[in-house]
Structure 1
Amino acid sequence: MFQDDDNSVDGISSDDGSSSDDEALMLFMHQKRKRRMMQMACMIGMYHLDSYCNKGPRRVPIESGHDWVLTTLHNETACYNMFRMHRPVFEKLHSVLVDSYGLKSTKRMSSVESLGLFLWIVGSPQSVRQAENRFVRSLETIVRKFDKVLACLIKLAKDIIRPIDRQFRTVHLKLRSRKYAPFMDNCIGAIDGTHIQVVVPVATAAQHRNRHKEKSQNVMCVCDFDMRFTFVLAGWPGSVHDMRVFNDARSRFGDKFPKPPPNKFYLVDSGYPNRPGYLSPYKGLTYHFQEYRDGTMPRGKKEHFNFTHSSLRNVIERCFGVLKNKWRILFHLPSYPQQKQSKIIVACIALHNFIRQSQLADIDFDLCDQDENYVPLSMPTTTTNDSTNEMDSAAMNQFRAWVADGLWSLKQQ
């Protein structure tokens, strides 16, 4: 502070013979910086006091998260509604994750509570804030335990999302029906994509917008006729065409992608070319199974082929329906990093396969088993069916014509 009446600076006198103006100014600036540092230290101290000392009373839960999970497991209806599986499946999944995939109990949370927490978040779905309140845990603990179970399920996914027999030596029971045999004997499953809505940074929003103007990931999946996923590729932006994702799966993941053996084939929609190993429908004709059911039945061998093709390929739509109906977080993933969003998708598919392979009762799968035309939530796939620019194979076109003739002859009998 300047005091002009006695020619001093902060009480330090200045005369022409002993002190210079420069020295006084330097001393003033030094003391000014010192005052600012003291003010900053005071502000930090007040923040620390408010954040760490003036806390409210420690929350004492009426029912701990561990107790809530155990209580829920003992109520059949609540268990299925909260954890999206019955208790025997939960206990089997818990044992597998503990014994083989590194899920462990800690002082802060048991492995049972951790698994219940994860299933409750992805199934209902619930936010981490809701989980914090329900389990009476810190946000840091909730996130850390969620990530731990997620890591275990990703390890499980590597073992469970694959064909049971990579040579596909068995004709599925469904294909032995006189509606299909022997012309569909070599069919081994279906391929399609689905869109999962995601939250992405503004810089990448445009490339993630699909044809419905939603920000999404285009997730390509392969499934068999037991409604098991045998391959998944997540992470591609929603604006990308199915064929680009498909080509990436075959090239970049060639050792993991379940390529069809010679003379075997998958069913694909009109967004894919008719190529060896991948049988697509006739383009320009009514195709989707639901369109035939709601309108006129097929006329002629080509429409009948499309109808039969669609009625078999709807297995992947049923898979997607069960997957999303059970794991509701997939309707709109929270704003996690993109890699974590993709991992959650894969983890949910691993859970889907685990429940199916357990061969234990499950409401969603049981409904599908009782009606082969039942699609949960009536949810078709949301990928584009625009034709690809890639050319069809002449040999595969001849094979399709042979199948169409054979299926038509079966219908006439």
Structure 2
Amino acid sequence: MANLYTERYLQKGAYRQTPETGIQWVMRLMDRPRYFYKMFRMSPEIFHALHDLLVSTYGLSSSNNVSSIESLTMFLWIVGGPQSFSQVESHFTRSLWTVHTKFHEVLKCLRKLAKNNITPRDTTFSTEHGRLREDRFWPYFKDAIGAIDGSHISVVVLLDETISHTCRHGYTSQNVLAICDFDMRFIFAVAGWPGSAHDSRILSHALANFPSFPMPPTGKYYLVDSGYPNRIGYLAPFKGTTYHIPEFRHRSGPPQGKYEVFNFLHSSLRNVIERSFGVLKQKWRILKGIPSFSPATQKHIIMACLALHNFVRDSNLRDKEFERCDADEDYLLEDTSDTSDDESEDAENDDTMNTIRTRIADALISARGG
């Protein structure tokens, strides 16, 4: 045992010498914005704003050997690259223990940020968004305030949890429920549910257990797909007819009849949540396959990435992925055309929303001279 202890802890290898340290590499990239963006998934200007906020408000600090800037860049490189801890250890010339410690310090700060910035800008939803005033949507969907959907984040789980976490796509995942506004900001999110959980079940649990849930005001509603019931505050499409945008794209001719016309415009407006998830996963690529952290840490990583997404969007500074999405409503549109799990667990049980839906459909077809 003494020999083993000596070999492992006392016989230290030569200290690694590198042509430049990790922080020197980071500072050099700040003068090359395009490469800085590739590495850390945001511009230097947004990075400095984020860093200053985390330091001033959320407790991010420097230690004797590692600056707060280095800690944040290591975190962003891991979740954005994504880079493994071993790669970060090598490139920043830091021990694995240091990389893990700093990763979790930044993660803790971003969890605090998430509580404050994954919220509506206007809790009363009193102003119609400009997108609703586009000719094709106005005034039919003037009371829409956002969109709700779930997205599966691939995760690694213990063997005895494989079945419960296997989603309909055949891989282990967490099913993340999120609400976004028409600016592609997430205003509410719940992570941690196993991939086999149904979207409507997660929504029902969130309504009952999260005081922070942004309830739709009277007369307003969220747009949902047919995985959710059509009830007060939640407007679903007509079932039994074409709905998803890719299905319309892959056939010839425009939508026919009031049900298809309604579903096409409903889907065109609701796909803001799909595009938001698309940008989220494109920027923070760890979400395409989170490594074998504990389930709690996996959940915290997802929420941290949502907070980063909102921070970048709220900065009003240039960002490549958001700009592309603003220019093309089909950019990074998640493929949700698989309808194998597309029926809500609850029956359509609200005559009020059924009436509103029918009234909108009739108005749309009337405006087209149908």
Task: Give 1:194 shift.
Answer: 0.2
Identify the residue that residue 405 of structure 1 maps to in structure 2: 362
- Equivalent residues of 1:179, 1:411 under 8 A apart: no
Matching of residues 179-328 of structure 1 within 5 Å: 179-253=136-210, 255-296=211-252, 297-328=254-285
Letter of the aligned partner of 2:219 in structure 1? N
Give the 5 Å matches for 1:6-405. Answer: 44-253=1-210, 255-296=211-252, 297-371=254-328, 373-376=329-332, 378-381=333-336, 384-405=341-362
Q: Once structures 1 and 2 are overlaid, which stretch shifts more, 330-339 or 45-54?
A: 45-54
> 8 Å contact 1:208–1:237 — kept in the other structure?
yes
Where relative contact order (Cα < 8 A, 6+ residues apart) is larger, the structure is 2
How many Å apart are 1:389 and its aligned residue?
3.2
Whether the aligned pair in 1 keeps the contact of 2:223 and 2:236 (CA below 8 Å) is yes
Q: In structure 2, how many angstroms separate the alpha carbons of the residues matched to 1:111 and 1:361?
A: 24
What is the deviation of 1:387?
3.3
How much has 1:55 moved relative to structure 2?
Answer: 2.5
Note if contact 2:228-2:346 (Cα within 8 Å) is conserved in structure 1: no
Write the distance in 2 (CA, Å) between the matches of 1:364 and 1:411: 35
Deviations 1:223-245 (A, max 9, x none): 00000000000000000111110
AA aligned to 2:36 is: C
Distance in 2 of aligned mates of 1:92 and 1:119: 14
Larger C-alpha radius of gyration, 1 or 2?
Answer: 1
Query: Could you give the per-residue CA deviations for residues 170-197 of structure 1, whole angstroms, max 9, x where no partner exists?
Result: 0010111221211211100000000001
TM-superposed CA distance for 1:73, in Å, is 1.8
Q: Deviations over 1:140-179 (max 9, x none)?
A: 1000000000000010001100000111000010111221
- SS of aligned partner of 2:259: helix
Give the TM-score normalised by the residue count of structure 1: 0.87
Counterpart residue type for residue 262 of structure 1: T
CA distance in 2, matches of 1:410, 1:119: 49
- Encode CA deviations 1:227-276: one digit per residue, 9 max, x unaligned: 000000000000011111011111110x2011100000000000111101
8 Å CA contact 1:180, 1:407 repeated in 2:
no
Listed one character per residue, the Cα deviations across residues 362-413 of structure 1 (whole Å, up to 9, x for unaligned) are: 0000001112x2232x432479312323333111111100011112223339
**TM-score where L is the length of structure 2:** 0.97
Q: Which amino acid aligns with 1:252?
A: N
Secondary structure of 2:151's partner? strand
For residues 256 and 23 of structure 2, what CA distance do their matches in structure 1 show?
Answer: 60
Counterpart of 2:137 in 1: which secondary structure? coil
What is aligned with 1:28? Answer: none
8 Å contact from structure 2 (residues 200, 344) kept in 1: no
Work out the CA distance in 1 between the residues paired with 2:295 and 2:91.
26
CA distance in 2, matches of 1:117, 1:252: 35
1:411, 1:368 → 2: CA distance?
Answer: 29
Corresponding letter in the other structure for 2:133: R
Q: Distance in 2 between matches of 1:246 and 1:387?
A: 11
Q: 2:86 is aligned with what amino acid?
A: R
AA in 1 matched with 2:228: Y
| Contact 1:367 1:374 (C-alpha < 8 Å) held by counterparts | no
Q: Is the 1:287–1:307 Cα contact (8 Å) retained in structure 2?
A: yes
Q: Secondary structure at the match of 2:276?
A: helix
Contact 2:188–2:213, Cα closer than 8 Å, also in 1: yes
Q: Is the 8 A contact 2:75 2:106 kept in 1?
A: yes
The answer to whether the Cα contact below 8 Å between 2:119 and 2:188 also exists between their aligned partners in 1 is yes
Quote the offset at 1:301 in angstroms. 0.8
- CA-based RMSD of the aligned residues comes to 1.3
Verify the 8 A CA contact 2:324 2:331 in the aligned structure 1: no
The runs of 4+ residues in structure 1 deviating greater than 4 Å are none
Whole-angstrom CA distance in 2 between matches of 1:369 and 1:351: 18
In structure 2, what residue type is equivalent to 1:304?
Answer: V
Query: CA separation in 2, counterparts of 1:333 and 1:412?
Result: 51
Residue segments in structure 2 that go unaligned for 5+ positions in a row: none
State the aligned residue count. Answer: 367
Displacement after TM superposition at 1:132 (Å): 0.6
Percent identity between the aligned chains? 50
Provide structure 1 residue ranges, at least 5 long, that are not aligned to the other structure: 1-43
The SS at the match of 1:281 is coil
For residues 111 and 213 of structure 2, the distance between their equivalents in structure 1, rounded to whole angstroms, comes to 17
The 8 Å contact of residues 227 and 343 in structure 2, kept in 1 or not, is answered as yes
Partner SS state of residue 193, structure 2: strand
Q: What is the identity, as a one-letter code, of the residue corresponding to 1:61?
A: T
